[in-house]
Amino acid sequence: MKKTFLRPFALLVLLLTVICIWPTAITLAAPDLHVSVQTGLDKKTKTGKGAPIVFTIENKGSAFAGDLIVDTTTSQSNRIGQSVPIAIGEGEVQTITVVVDSIEDPMMYGNPVKKNIFFYENGWKSGEEIPHSGTQLITSTSLPQESLFIAGLADNIDRLSSLKDLSLKNQEGTHLLNLTKKGKTPIPSERTGWDAVDIIAIDNYSIADLSQKQQEAMLGWVEAGGTLLVGGSQNVAAEAGIFSSNLPLNITGTQQLSPSLFNEKFKEFIPGFSAEIQPESIILAEKEDTILAASKRLGSGMILQTTFTIGSEAFKSSPGVKSFWTELLNNRQKVLKQRASQMYYSLPTDDLVFSVGEANELFPSFKVSTPLLFGIISIYIILIIPILYIVLRKKDKREHAWWIIPAIAVLVSFGIFAYGGKDRLGTSQLQHSAVYFVEPNKKMTGYYAESLLTDKAGDFTFSVQKPSTVTTNSSMNSLFGSTVPAHEGAVLEKGATEEILAFRNLGFWNVASIYGHTELDSIGTFETDLKLENKTLTGTITNNFPFSVKDVMILSGNKKINLGSIPAGETLTVQEDVKVTVLGSRVSSQNIYMNPVASNQDDLIKLRKEGLLNFSSTHMNESTKPILSATTDTQIMELELTDRKAKNSPLSMVLQPIDIDTKLSGSVRVDSDQMEMELLSASGNPAELIDEMVKDYIFSETDYTQTWKLPEDFVESVDNWSKLQLFGVDANRYEVSLFNVKTGSYEQVEAKTSPIIEPANEYVTEDGKVLLKLKFNDRQLGEASHPPELRLTGEVEK
624-645: average pLDDT: 93
Band of pLDDT at residue 681, cut at 50, 70 and 90: confident
Q: Provide the pLDDT for residue 78.
A: 79
> Cα(446)–Cα(616) distance, rounded to whole angstroms?
9
468 contacts 450 by C-beta, under 8 angstroms: no
Q: Which residue has the higher pLDDT, 685 or 741?
A: 741
Q: Over the stretch 523-545, which tens digit does the pLDDT of each residue have?
A: 999 999 999 998 899 999 999 99
Q: Over the stretch 697-725, which tens digit does the pLDDT of each residue have?
A: 888 888 999 999 888 888 888 889 999 99
Q: Over the stretch 26-79, which tens digit does the pLDDT of each residue have?
A: 445 689 999 999 999 998 998 888 999 999 999 999 999 999 999 988 766 678
One-letter amino acid at 796 equals V
Q: Over the stretch 326-357, which tens digit does the pLDDT of each residue have?
A: 989 988 876 765 554 444 446 788 888 888 98
487 has a pLDDT exceeding 70? yes
Q: What angle do CA 144, 145, 149 make, to 5 degrees?
A: 95
DSSP string, 724-747: EEEES--TTTEEEEEEETTTTEEE
174 contacts 192 by C-beta, under 8 angstroms: no
> Cα(469)–Cα(516) distance, rounded to whole angstroms?
5
411-416: average pLDDT: 69
Q: Which residue has the higher pLDDT, 409 or 452?
A: 452
Q: What angle do CA 368, 371, 372 make, to 5 degrees?
A: 65
743-771: average pLDDT: 93
3-state secondary structure of 45: coil
- Mean pLDDT for all residues in the chain: 85
Q: Provide the pLDDT for residue 389.
A: 67
Listed range (49-58, 202-211, 401-410) with the worst mean pLDDT: 401-410
Band of pLDDT at residue 584, cut at 50, 70 and 90: confident
107 contacts 137 by C-beta, under 8 angstroms: no
Q: Over the stretch 437-480, which tens digit does the pLDDT of each residue have?
A: 998 888 999 999 999 999 888 999 999 999 899 999 865 444 44
Q: Provide the pLDDT for residue 374.
A: 67
DSSP string, 202-235: EES--GGGS-HHHHHHHHHHHHTT-EEEE---TT
759-781: average pLDDT: 88
Listed range (129-138, 533-542, 615-624, 679-688) with the worst mean pLDDT: 679-688
Q: Provide the pLDDT for residue 192.
A: 92
For residue 308, list its beta bridge partners.
272
CA atoms within 13 A on the CB side of 387: 10
Q: Provide the pLDDT for residue 139.
A: 79
Q: Provide the pLDDT for residue 705.
A: 93
Q: Provide the pLDDT for residue 686.
A: 77
Q: 712-722: b or e for each residue (b if 16 or more CB lie within 10 Å)?
A: ebbeebbeebe
Give me the count of residues in the chain.
798
Q: What is the number of other CB atoms lying within 10 angstroms of the CB of residue 231?
A: 24
One-letter amino acid at 186 equals P
Q: Provide the pLDDT for residue 336.
A: 67
Q: Provide the pLDDT for residue 627.
A: 95
Burial class of residue 732, CB neighbours in 10 A (0-12, 13-18, 19+): exposed
> Cα(577)–Cα(502) distance, rounded to whole angstroms?
51
> Cα(533)–Cα(562) distance, rounded to whole angstroms?
18
Band of pLDDT at residue 729, cut at 50, 70 and 90: very high
Question: Cβ neighbours of residue 271 under 8 Å, at least 6 residues apart?
Answer: 232, 254, 256, 257, 308, 309, 312, 314, 315
Listed range (240-249, 337-346, 579-588, 763-772) with the worst mean pLDDT: 337-346
SS3 content of the chain, % helix, strand, coil (to 5): 25, 40, 35
552-565: average pLDDT: 93
Q: Give percent of the chain with pLDDT exceeding 70.
A: 83
> Cα(83)–Cα(771) distance, rounded to whole angstroms?
54
> Cα(698)–Cα(784) distance, rounded to whole angstroms?
5
375-401: average pLDDT: 69
> Cα(26)–Cα(716) distance, rounded to whole angstroms?
82
Q: Provide the pLDDT for residue 349.
A: 81
678 has a pLDDT exceeding 80? yes
C-alpha 287, offset from chain centre: 38
For residue 514, list its beta bridge partners.
450, 472
Q: Provide the pLDDT for residue 481.
A: 45
* Number of continuous H segments (helices) and E segments (strands) in the chain: 12, 45
Spell out the alpha helix ranges (H) of 255-400. 313-316, 321-336, 348-352, 358-360, 370-382, 388-395
3-state secondary structure of 580: coil
Q: Which residue has the higher pLDDT, 614 or 396?
A: 614
Q: Provide the pLDDT for residue 107.
A: 65
Q: Over the stretch 141-154, which tens digit does the pLDDT of each residue have?
A: 788 888 899 999 99
Q: Over the stretch 216-237, which tens digit does the pLDDT of each residue have?
A: 999 999 998 899 999 999 899 9
83 contacts 493 by C-beta, under 8 angstroms: yes
> Cα(312)–Cα(290) distance, rounded to whole angstroms?
19
